[in-house]
Amino acid sequence: MTILAVIALYYATARLGLLEQLVRGQVTPLWPPTGISVAALLLFGARVWPGIAIGALTVNVTIGPTVPSLLAIVVGNTAAPLCSYVLLNRAGFHNDLDRLRDALALVFLGALSPMLISATIGSGALFLSGALPASGFWTTWSVWWTGDAMGVLVVTPFLLVVRWARWPPAVSPLIWAEAAALAACTLTVTFLVTNTTSSSLLFLVLPFLIWASFRFEHAGAAPCALGVSTLTILAADRMTGPFDHHDLLTNMVTLQAFNGTVSLTALLLTAVVTERNRTHEEIERLCAQLSDAVTDLQSGSRRAPPDA
């Protein structure tokens, strides 16, 4: 049942991702299935890899140029998440993302490094099959790597947060109002800066990610990062705002730098805040235990009979 769910999610999100394809009808700057694959492996283990492979096959079977290239792409799209899973396991990764080392591991061991595999195999397969000219190899490779890496950096943390999210039993209306204001401000500012020509204005969204990290930790930072990255990718696909009048490779570098900064800010800052809060709670718990121990000692000394 889990494998069927992975196949269904892979296929559905792949069709959504292909709506924003930039190269040859199959290469997109955000590939959610990769993030879903890594999250599924982290949550359910390596046993779900057939779901990833079948999902990749069902998506690419209608767009792959030749059978050998199709099989190579499926192998690359399966091997890259598996590599992420192995590296993260060896690094002692926690799915709760409650430590700074977990955030760093997800960025470098889960996203940036392993996705070189899928980008290289996929682009190489298209080139060798004749579907991709030599002049377009590096552009395709950059978009492929960007899409897979962003899928892990943006989608995986969101799914890891969603799986333990519960409706809070009692939350002040002010907290709900603050959450709504955060979401509205983040999306509004992102929309505005992605429709202006200056790329430097993109970073005006970072204060809202900081706000989300400090006030709501992963429950706020992960959805905000997903929303910001999605709106920015849509602007890059339309080649509007800061992505206007630039070639595809330049836009991919800008997009990768920005989305990487967004993801790093959300992941690393939230991990630091979570560690701080956990340390604070542990100190409070130890202080309470010490206070109880001192009270017990004082009560015992008062009850003790005087020496003869």
The string of pLDDT tens digits covering residues 48-83 is 999 999 999 998 887 767 888 889 999 999 999 999
**196-227: burial string, b at 16+ Cβ within 10 Å, e else:** beebebbeebbebbbbbbbebbbbbbbbbbbb
pLDDT of residue 74: 92
Answer whether 33's CB lies under 8 Å from 15's CB.
no
State yes or no: pLDDT of 24 exceeds 70: no
Using pLDDT thresholds of 50, 70 and 90, give the confidence band for residue 308: very low
Say what the pTM is.
0.81
SS3 99: coil
Q: What angle do CA 90, 95, 100 make, to 5 degrees?
A: 80
Which of the 8 DSSP states describes residue 163? Answer: T
SS3 160: helix
> CB neighbours (10 Å) of residue 171?
10
pLDDT of residue 143: 81
The string of pLDDT tens digits covering residues 95-139 is 888 788 888 899 899 998 999 999 999 989 888 888 888 887 887
Alpha-carbon distance of 15 to 18, in angstroms, equals 5
State yes or no: pLDDT of 259 exceeds 90: no
The string of pLDDT tens digits covering residues 204-254 is 898 999 999 888 888 888 888 888 988 888 887 778 888 887 777 777 778
The string of pLDDT tens digits covering residues 139-194 is 788 888 888 988 898 899 888 888 766 556 667 888 889 989 999 999 999 999 88
Q: What angle do CA 10, 265, 12 make, to 5 degrees?
A: 10
Using pLDDT thresholds of 50, 70 and 90, give the confidence band for residue 26: low
Burial of 288 (0-12, 13-18, 19+ CB in 10 A): exposed
Q: Two tokens at 63? A: 């767009």
pLDDT of residue 20: 62
Higher pLDDT among residues 4 and 218, named by residue: 4
Q: Two tokens at 88? A: 């993260």
